[in-house]
Amino acid sequence: MVKGVIDQVVKRNPGEPEFHQAVKEVLESVAPVLEKHPEYKEAKILDRLVEPERQIIFRVPWQDDKGEFRVNRGFRIEFNSAIGPYKGGLRFHPSVYIGIIKFLGFEQIFKNSLTTLPMGGGKGGSDFDPKGKSDSEVMRFCQSFMAELCKYIGPDTDVPAGDIGVGGREIGYMYGMYKKIRNEFTGVLTGKGLDWGGSLVRTEATGYGLIYFLLEMLKDLGKSIKGATVVSSGSGNVSIYAAQKCQELGAKVVAMSDSNGYIYDKDGIDLKAVKQLKEVERKRLKEYLKHKPNAKYEDGCNNIWSIKCDIALPNATQNEIDEKSAAKLVENGVWAVAEGANMPSTPEAIQFFLKNKVCFGPAKAANAGGVATSGLEMTQNSQRLSWTFEEVDAYLNRIMKSIYKQSKEAAEEYGQPGNLVVGANIAGFSKVARSMLAQGLV
């Protein structure tokens, strides 16, 4: 049954290996749930789940600073709305194509379900590369992107957010355009600025949430984060705030990366310097050496996983840890891996970690803090209220603990104690499956 659905997905979505990978991982995990619930088989829940409710692909024309016309491609996949309005980020990166957006949208269904908040799954983006573009070029692109996207989204329909290449600046330009066209001030995007409807803690949320989840993992492992050595790949939103929380809790973060290479600072990364480079100046990480000449820089990203550490946090992008990197980490004595990025470990790497008893926190559970806080932003927008930093942070912490508990308990219920990959998939899936069944054939 499961194999048949996977085969269909591969056949009907050719040339989309990331989507195939994500579907295979989830469907294989939930096979035992279908054995227990034949009504899901009868209602063809899996067949319906792997087919997005709506796929929107559109032209994004814009003008660069030299006056030349440019054209990119925009996407929004409204994947599943069984438990709430579609919710998921927008990614602007040259590697974006329909298969990446589908894989991310599919994952988002289960992640959002785990957060305990009423949010369906969606994802979007463009193959536009904000790197090297002026603010005016980014603004013109975002305005053109939103001029089309605004036809499909709304605070009760589909609420996009940021992802790779889409931060506060891009959300601002897109929100401005949405407001102008629709003449309404609503919570249609999350990750907004604090002065115009954003939530405190949203910036920090994915990174902080990852560490709150990691703390639950470590509790069961009988280990402390204090004094641990950490490698956190990437140097974007997730990596920076995960590293910040690790440092606050007494861990030493020794390495970070960007898409060109990685830095190793045995004395501990100076996060102020990284923030200045990446958040303010938008420069390459290599320039860190100007701040800390004793640190080391190496071109290319893979070798970051050969650095000895207790805790590895892949926080950059998909498939960044392969089996070879996993083997290196294990050889060097890693105890825990928690995924901040989406699908950063290949299936072979995950199996290697599990086989070697490394405590492994899968992305859809461990990095759900960002979307959870986006959900809290939606709640505050609906209430026309703003909660304090402490209130949102405490809520986030509770949600991450709940996600850990749900994943752990589902793994135990289905006879795979400690396997949070299977546990998160089953817990996320079960709620969506029950809701789809209740809502009939739609």
Under rule CB under 6 A, residue 126 binds ligand NDP: no
- Other C-beta atoms closer than 10 Å to the C-beta of 392 total 22
Q: Confirm if 175 and 166 have CB atoms less than 8 A apart.
A: no
Q: Confirm if 109 and 51 have CB atoms less than 8 A apart.
A: no
Contacts of 173 (CB under 8 A, 6+ apart): 138, 139, 142, 143, 146
> Residue 221: helix, strand or coil by DSSP?
helix
Under rule CB under 6 A, residue 237 binds ligand NDP: yes
Q: Determine the Cα–Cα distance for residues 29 and 47; give it in Å rounded to an integer.
A: 15
x/- string (CB under 6 A) for ligand NDP, residues 135-174?
---------------------------xxxx---------
Select the residue interacting with ligand NDP from 236, 361, 375, 423 (CB under 6 A): 236
Least distance to ligand NDP from the beta carbon of 213, Å? Answer: 12
Q: Of 82, 116, 92, 91, whose CA–CA distance to 373 is shortest?
A: 116
Residue 265 region by backbone torsions, left for phi larger than 0, else alpha for psi between -120 and 50, else beta: beta
Segment 352-381, which members bind ligand NDP (CB under 6 A)? 367, 370
Binding residues: 87, 108, 111, 162, 206, 237, 374
Under rule CB under 6 A, residue 21 binds ligand NDP: no
Name the residue nearer to ligand NDP (CB basis): 236 or 361: 236
**Number of residues in contact with ligand NDP, rule: CB under 6 A?**
23
Q: Which of 123, 192, 252, 278 is catalytic?
A: 123
Active site residue 123: yes
x/- string (CB under 6 A) for ligand NDP, residues 284-303?
-----------------x--
Q: Confirm if 187 and 154 have CB atoms less than 8 A apart.
A: no
What tokens were used for 271?
A: 């996060």
Binding residues for substrate: 87, 108, 111, 162, 374
Q: Is the dihedral of CA 166, 172, 178, 184 positive or negative?
A: positive
Select the residue interacting with ligand NDP from 29, 80, 143, 206 (CB under 6 A): 206
What tokens were used for 319?
A: 């498939």
Name the residue nearer to ligand NDP (CB basis): 5 or 316: 316
Q: With CB under 6 A as the contact rule, which of the stretches 37-45, 113-121, 228-236, 401-409 interacts with ligand NDP? A: 228-236
Strand 54-63 to 296-299 pairing: unpaired
Q: Which residue has the tokens 């996207």?
A: 149
Segment 325-344, which members bind ligand NDP (CB under 6 A)? 340-342
Select the residue interacting with ligand NDP from 119, 153, 238, 326 (CB under 6 A): 238
Taking 3-state DSSP, the helix, strand and coil percentages for the chain, each rounded to the nearest 5, stand at 50, 15, 35
> Cβ-closest residue to ligand NDP?
236
x/- string (CB under 6 A) for ligand NDP, residues 28-67?
----------------------------------------
Q: What does R_g of the chain's alpha carbons equal in angstroms?
A: 21
Select the residue interacting with ligand NDP from 29, 190, 317, 346 (CB under 6 A): 317
Q: Which residue has the tokens 């070798």?
A: 303
**280 DSSP assignment:** I
**Residues annotated catalytic, as ranges:** 123
List residues binding ligand NDP (CB under 6 A): 162-165, 206, 234-239, 258-260, 301, 315-317, 340-342, 367, 370
